[in-house]
Structure 1
Amino acid sequence: MANGVDIETPRLVLRRPSLSDVPALFEFLGDAHAMRHTHACASLRDCRRKVAVHEWRRRHDGYAPWTIASKAGGQILGWGGLYDDPFDRGWGVEVAYFFHPSAWGRGYASEMMTTCLTIADHALRLPEVRAFAHPENSASRRVLEKAGFEVVRFVPEMERFLYRRHRQDARAAA
């Protein structure tokens, strides 16, 4: 994967986060309402640590969440992408996305997801990608299902559904 290169989609720029992004990321990653279906960062320091640890993993794995910015205006809209969760190991490669509430409902998660799955299928050739979604997060569940993910099971200790999607060309060959 293009480790240090920005990736452009029709409306977004996906780029490596910098520490200067953290205050804008914390606006939603630290917002209890925006993050009600997952974990909110408790402080700016906690958010900085989360971003830094994922960036350390990028150097090891070759992928990690991006800062997601508007192509038109450059404002930070979200954070997400492929990763092997350094804080909850053992689930394999996941895809996740977190957006500022002002960006909800505009199709940005689906746009980012398309790029992630293209990279997962063709550049990284991952056999499968996983994801989690809270039962009440119908928008996120719709994004995953539209992208070809299927529910594996409910994980009670996480209060989330585990989803998976097999590599597209692997499914076509089956």
Structure 2
Amino acid sequence: MRNIGSQIETPRLLLRPSRLSDTPALFEFLGDKEAMKHTHADVTPGECRRRIAVHEWRRRRDGYAPWTAVRKKDARIIGWGGLYNDPFDPGWGCEIGYFFRRDAWGYGYASELVAAALHFADRELRLGEVRAFAHPENTASRKILEMAGFGIVRFVPEMNRLLLSRARRGDNIVDRDG
């Protein structure tokens, strides 16, 4: 993994700040009710554009926000996710989230994005904790989070979501990539 300015390069993905011009490609899945059945689906491209704009404003303020995930082999936008303080449901601290096109599911892209985001949280931001939410029926997402070291804190009934948490990994992390 390489951190290139505000971009991160993983073996198969380029994670870069979102652009408003990404809206049509991102809306293909952020507006897909089936792909987003366990979370919020944008109703219109304008709503998706607003989500992107608000998160990018937060990137300038907080130093992090979800990235657009571009598959390196074909330069196709396949996902959106990373670290963020949710501007639409504030108060939970730094969270991690990830959303992918349905045709990109099952290839390990979410795990790759989560690993890169947590490395960034631990090494660059030095965050003490990262949280995540998962719908109880979204076993695939829960598995990704649990494999990344997240543990269930509690069920949040008003959200119908599990709250998960992961403490920062220590300074003695061995970085095999240098």
Structure 1 residue aligned with 2:176: none
Superposed, which structure 2 residues align to 1:1-174 within 5 Å? 5-169=6-170
Q: Please give the alpha-carbon distance, in whole angstroms, between the structure 1 residues aligned to 2:165 and 2:172.
A: 13
* CA gap 1:88/1:3 in 2 versus in 1, 3 angstroms: farther
TM superposition shift of 1:42: 1.0
Structure 2: stretches of 5+ with no match in the other structure: 174-178
Alignment CA distance shift 1:3-1:71 (3 Å): closer
Task: Give the Å deviation of 1:7.
Answer: 1.2
**How large is the Cα RMSD of the aligned pairs?**
1.5
Identity %: 63
- 1:70-123 deviations in whole A, cap 9, x for unaligned? 011100010000000011100000000000000001100100111111111111
Partners of 1:17 and 1:51 within 8 A in 2: yes
Cα distance in 2 for partners of 1:87, 1:18 equals 19
Please, what TM-score do these two structures have when normalized by structure 2?
Answer: 0.93
CA deviation map 1:129-160 (0-9, x unaligned): 00000011010000000000000000011111
Task: Provide the aligned length of Structure 1 versus Structure 2.
Answer: 171
Unaligned 5+ residue runs, structure 1? none
Aligned-partner residue type, residue 140 of structure 2: A
Q: Structure 1 residue runs of 4+, over 4 Å off?
A: none
Offset at 1:5? 3.0
Structure 1 residue 4: Cα displacement: 5.1
